[in-house]
Amino acid sequence: MRFSTAVPILVAISAPPAVGQLNSYAKKAGLKYFGAATDSPGQRERAGLETAYPQYDAILQDTDEFGQTTPTNGQKWLFTEPERGVFNFTEGDIVASIAAENDQLLRCHTLVWHSQLAPWVEEGVWTPEELRLIIIEHITQLMGHYKGQCYAWDVVNEALNEDGTYRESVFYNVLGEEFIKLAFSTAAEIDPSAKLYYNDYNLESPGAKSEGAIRIVKLLQEAGIRIDGVGMQAHLVASRAPTLDQQTAVMESYGALGVEVALTELDVRVEMPINETSMAWQSEVYKNVRVLVSS
């Protein structure tokens, strides 16, 4: 992706620090947190640059702005189990330690996902029994390492196609929807204190895909397996985002199943070059995006 000059300019401004106080306002509105994902500390550390982005770090760690953080990449399979049975928590630990030092909630991401998956899993030819053992071992080691530190885990990420059917990942192709039940039941055993989420994009309005997410919640509940939340990634587009009414309706349909909802990866894309109209659209979309507060 090409970045417009607007992005570095925002980072480079040296005069007063940002004073949005997003987390403070979110809490005043009755929400649990406003958070931000990050990779920067890991990249900085790898590059041996201790203070490459001091202003970025200061904002990230300001709990008036962000009461929660997530490792953007560091807990994904590709980085945590790059070879079978070889676990590496270096990147994830950096972000987890930032959360702990600043008393921020840690949202952990993700246990079973077809993308950024280690090639040995994706390219292997597995019997159902072998793949079950691989999933169980991965969740046991990864979630066990962070046990007690995660407010929530995205247990299964992006298992659905746009039409609400299951995506043909290695997990689905070998195990069918059983892989979802296996992932959640294993996760429930390993860290009873973490909220267990199904997380996906384009779940922000009623339709075939959100019905697929509802089907997953019911599949687990009917099997007696714990699921606590639906994560709506909320990668929105300024010119065609769901309306406030659509978002409210879909959140109520998840809430009716007794699960909580979170907007997990919120961003609002605009076409380049930007203009006043597209900025106004973007602002309107951000304004309309909010999580319902249940009493």
Ligand X SMILES: *[C@@H]1O[C@H](CO)[C@@H](O)[C@H](O)[C@H]1NC(C)=O
Instruction: Give the active site residues.
Output: 158, 265
Within 205-275, where are the H helices? 208-222, 244-255
CB 218 within 8 A of CB 257: yes
Please state the closest distance from residue 57 (CB atom) to ligand X, in A.
18
Alpha-carbon distance 175 to 213, whole Å? 18
- State the DSSP string of 115-157: SS--HHHHS----HHHHHHHHHHHHHHHHHHTTTT-SEEEEEE
Q: Is 83 in the site for ligand X (CB under 6 A)?
A: no
Query: Using CB under 6 A, which of the segments 115-123, 191-199, 211-219, 273-281 binds ligand X?
Result: 273-281
Q: Which stretch binds ligand X (CB under 6 A): 16-24, 58-66, 115-123, 272-280?
A: 272-280
Among positions 18, 52, 270, 292, the unique one binding ligand X when judged by CB under 6 A: 270
Cβ 62 to ligand X shortest distance, Å: 26
Among the residue ranges 98-106, 115-123, 270-278, 283-291, the one whose residues contact ligand X (CB under 6 A): 270-278
What residues have CB less than 8 Å from 265, skipping those under 6 apart?
37, 201, 233, 234, 235
The answer to the question of residue 93 lying near ligand X (CB under 6 A) is no
Joined tokens for residue 57: 């770090």
Q: Which of 6, 17, 55, 88 binds ligand X (CB under 6 A)?
A: 88
Residue 271 is a binding residue for ligand X (CB under 6 A): yes
Residue with tokens 């993308």: 115
**Which residues have C-beta within 8 Å of that of residue 277, sequence separation ≥ 6?**
none
* Residue 275 interacts with ligand X (CB under 6 A): yes or no: yes
Which residue, 92 or 229, is less far from ligand X as judged by CB?
A: 92
Strand partners, 200: 232
Counting beta carbons within 10 angstroms of the beta carbon of residue 198, is it exposed (0 to 12), middle (13 to 18) or buried (19 or more)? buried
Query: Under the criterion CB under 6 A, does residue 40 sit at the interface with ligand X?
Result: no
Residue placing its CB nearer to ligand X in the complex, 16 or 85 = 85
Binding mask 199-218 for ligand X (x = CB under 6 A): --------------------
Q: Please identify, using beta-carbon distances, which residue of 18 and 270 lies nearer to ligand X.
A: 270
Query: Alpha carbon of 151 to those of 61, 96, 105, 253: distances in Å?
Result: 17, 11, 6, 23
Is position 243 an interface residue for ligand X (rule: CB under 6 A)? no
Of 90, 161, 283, 294, the residue at the interface with ligand X (CB under 6 A) is 90
Q: Is it true that the peptide bond before 206 is cis, omega within 30 degrees of 0?
A: no
Report the site for ligand X in 103-142 (rule: CB under 6 A).
none
Q: Which residues here bind ligand X, judged by CB under 6 A? A: 88, 90-91, 239, 270-271, 275, 277-278
